[in-house]
Structure 1
Amino acid sequence: MLNSFIYLHGFASSPKSNKAQDIGNRFAQIQIPLTIPDLNAGDFSHLTISRQLHQVKSEFPDPSVPVTLIGSSLGGLTSAHLGEKYLQVQRLVLLAPAFGFLSHWLSKLGTDKIQRWQQEKYLSVYHYGEGRELPLSYDFITDAAQYQEHLLKRSIPTLILHGKKDEVIPIQASREFKRSRSWVELIELDSDHALTNVTDEIWPAIYAFCQLGNNN
């Protein structure tokens, strides 16, 4: 195999998410393996971006095999930082990547809720993969603060697909990321953060960008 492909799902999601399943099925149809690790790791309450970085790195194949990361939302942000850190990552596909995640999310929570979270150490968060509320440690916030977009300077071929109606991470975040990085291609889609209505547009873009027809 010429490349290894790994899919990173989003925050409070799982490998069973609609996007993960759709893309996984499409890879299966062309008989190319796609690894989809469960980034909850059985302990969503103690999730951090640092833990995700270590977990996904453990999925990397032999160093001689180039890795392509496909990341959704927070998985996209994690993918970008993995690409910065490891030369083995030679291509990125970012679906509504969570650039500016903390500022967007925390502003919606409000100051009082954030202060209570810091004092009580845990915040109840709705987990879409589990279909229920789960506690999340405040360590998630302190850890995430170190992963800033301005640190991402490696010129790695990157495709971003982002919905123009994204209500979670405004498309402006991806536009600003692309502006100073000539190696980034941005495709703007008529969709929201979930991108569920544009799967038939996403797949041809991934197929072409990743040169999947050449991977067998």
Structure 2
Amino acid sequence: MSSSYLYLHGWASSPDSHKARFFRQKFAEKGLICHVPDLNQPDFYHLTLSRQIKQAAEYLHPNAENIVIGSSLGGLTALWLAAQYPVVTRLILFAPALQFFSRCQQLIGAEQMRIWREKGELPIYHYGYERLETLSYEFITDMANYCDDELTRPIPTLILHGIQDEVVPFAHSQAFAATRPWVQCRALDSDHGLNNVHEELWGAVEGVSLLFQKNNQTNSPEFKS
């Protein structure tokens, strides 16, 4: 069976992030296609986790082994994608945004959350666009529908998380893996961006993806990019 590879970028990031470009290049060197959809589309304002899951599902191949790599909110998206679509067979997650509903509120702060709720929108700094972008409060109301406790599908999962992560604590990934024997959690000496350990991330991807041996670009299914 051929394999399909999908990379999901983080919140307020883009397919042009350092990690996304790094992985596209590494897969290309292997003669493989790694699809990196722009999860900001059709607009950042109406972004929700539900929309990201639906968008990512468009890149799943029904007759292939789908390996999904996700970073931060892309990692949380990958977990819910696997929960809803059995064709996802492996997950590799970089600092996944676990416990994100509560963590998001902590990072933004009570006063800004009040303003967001009352106004229905809030400017958020978008690292991919390098400017403020307005985001609807629907992002929060939608996120409230997703509870990590419901992520119980036993799919081989590797989490790589920086012990200096200031956005999503490493302890969140540790706790998640502790009750799920199919999840392996690996600590790295890095922060949330993991920008100093790209080669270690790629080594983990190669180690998990045994499919590199026989797969090549000619049998990798084509999707929109």
Query: TM-score band (shorter)?
Result: over 0.9
Alpha-carbon offset, residue 167 of structure 1: 0.4
The number of residues matched between the two structures is 215
After TM superposition, the score normalised by the length of structure 2 is 0.93
Alpha-carbon offset, residue 212 of structure 1: 4.0
Q: How does 1:72-111 map to 2 (within 5 A)?
A: 72-111=71-110
Quote the residue 1:11 is aligned against: 11
Contact 2:48/2:138 (<8 A) preserved: yes
Provide the aligned C-alpha RMSD in A: 1.0
Structure 2 distance, partners of 1:166, 1:196, is 12
Mean Cα displacement is larger for which, 82-91 or 52-61? Answer: 52-61
Quote the residue 2:189 is aligned against: 190
Contact 1:71/1:93 (<8 A) preserved: yes
Secondary structure (helix, strand or coil) at the match of 2:197 reads: helix
Uncovered stretches (5+) of structure 1, i.e. residues with no partner: none
Contact 1:122/1:138 (<8 A) preserved: yes
Quote the residue 1:68 is aligned against: 67
| One-letter code aligned to 2:72 | S
Alpha-carbon offset, residue 168 of structure 1: 0.2
Structure 2 distance, partners of 1:191, 1:201, is 11
Uncovered stretches (5+) of structure 2, i.e. residues with no partner: 216-225
Structure 2 distance, partners of 1:102, 1:167, is 16
Secondary structure (helix, strand or coil) at the match of 1:46 reads: coil
Secondary structure (helix, strand or coil) at the match of 1:23 reads: helix
Alpha-carbon offset, residue 108 of structure 1: 2.2
Q: 1:94-134 deviations in whole A, cap 9, x for unaligned? A: 00000011212211222121111111010000001111001
Secondary structure (helix, strand or coil) at the match of 2:196 reads: helix
Secondary structure (helix, strand or coil) at the match of 1:117 reads: helix
Q: Which runs of 4+ in 1 moved over 6 A?
A: none
Alpha carbons of 1:125 and 1:30: their partners in 2 closer, same or farther (altered >3 Å)?
Answer: same
Quote the residue 2:209 is aligned against: 210
After TM superposition, the score normalised by the length of structure 1 is 0.97
Task: Work out the percentage of aligned pairs sharing the same amino acid.
Answer: 46
| One-letter code aligned to 1:29 | E
Q: 1:30-56 deviations in whole A, cap 9, x for unaligned? A: 011100000001300110000011111
| One-letter code aligned to 2:42 | G
Alpha-carbon offset, residue 213 of structure 1: 2.9
